[in-house]
Structure 1
Amino acid sequence: MPTSRAYVAKSFKLATTISALIIILAMALSIFIYLMPNKFQLGLLITIYQFSNEILFIAFIFIFLFIIFKSYRFIKTTDSPSEELMKMSPAIIIWLCIIFYGSIFFINDTDCKNYKYNETLNGGRKEFKGKKYLINICGSGVSDNDLFGSSMDRVQMTVLNEQEEVLAKRNYKIFWDGGPGLDPIEISQDSIRYRDDSDPDGEPRTLTMPPSKLDWIAARFPIFNLLIYP
């Protein structure tokens, strides 16, 4: 039977194959969009950008179902699943760490040093139900390159308590050339309301204050935060 090292090597080989397929598909899509008439390019790019969270969610579901299927086959075809699972544990731990830290790198690309919007979008020190909080609103810069640009800025709103512990995070997009997303966040007695320009409906979203335990957990796992609060 395979050893722990063999399982790690096999997992990296599978990941390499999947990554190669994703790159090929991305390149094919890029070429297809590039060859399209200009009047269709912008509309398709904006549509892909607006539904990026939904596309990520669907991809996550397919990956999850694939893992469930492989696990089912593994249990059915292995004489001692518990023993083999112990051998697989190093590979599982390695990939969990890669997914966790990779999601932080790829999802949270905001830059509070160069793109801090507290003054513009009504962030800063606020008070809810007698307790003080700090609301930081940071962006990542406008994406406006010819092929993949959408003139939108990916923004992250972070809520911290007086001890500067992160309590909640929300990700949304702003179209700086105009639109409802430029409205500052709205502060009420028990909530924060904000607008996401990538939302086709344009309806304001709400963060209840103080944030819940689920908000606290989601703030520490970027991929889950994106899936729970797209």
Structure 2
Amino acid sequence: MSRLAALYLKLDLEIPIHEQEPSRTYLQNLVKRLSSEIYRQDVKAEVRFRQGSLEVWIMVAGSIYVAIGNYGSFRSGVKQIVEDTKALKNILVSSLRKDGVAEAVILKQRQLAATPERVRRLLTRIDRFEQQLPEFAEEEAKARLRRILKAVQELTYEMEFPEDINLLMTNLDERFHPLYNPEHLSYRKSFDLKKRPTFLDPENSNSSYYAQLPSPDDR
């Protein structure tokens, strides 16, 4: 799976040790439910706590291939996933407030760079490279290209599904395709048809949270 979203919250809150695991499980289930509807697929959610002023790290993993399938082009889809993550953060914070967490308790809320944001930055970097290419000396152009190829390869290592990797490669010019070591993809597994991430049908969704999702005009 790819890291669709990464969020960070800092709360002015102390949770007793015996309540930490139930609280973490509650938050993880909430994130999973919201994320599954926002990204229109089954996702994995992970929540980690660190005490002090309570720090919360949230990671949502799923398929970029499926998430982008809800939108138009690859570029617009990547941009929309980033916007969807912003919506996830806002809805999550709103849900916590409805569940009794005072606004003053939420000291920080931050959207961290997950795989879609890194893809968006890569595309911007490639656009800039192509625009400036006539200005570069040959060695400078080669050096910048090598750095881009390294960035592309690092991104593919973040992706578990071959479909996600193939989607990225299909939308990059061949100049930006790294040379793969055969072992690199040997452990990748295709979607298990029984567990494959699926689109959720809004008409069949019984979750009360679906009504809270922002319309495209609000994103």
Q: TM-score, normalised by structure 1?
A: 0.29
Name the structure, 1 or 2, with higher relative contact order (CA <8 Å, separation 6+).
2
Q: TM-score, normalised by structure 2?
A: 0.30
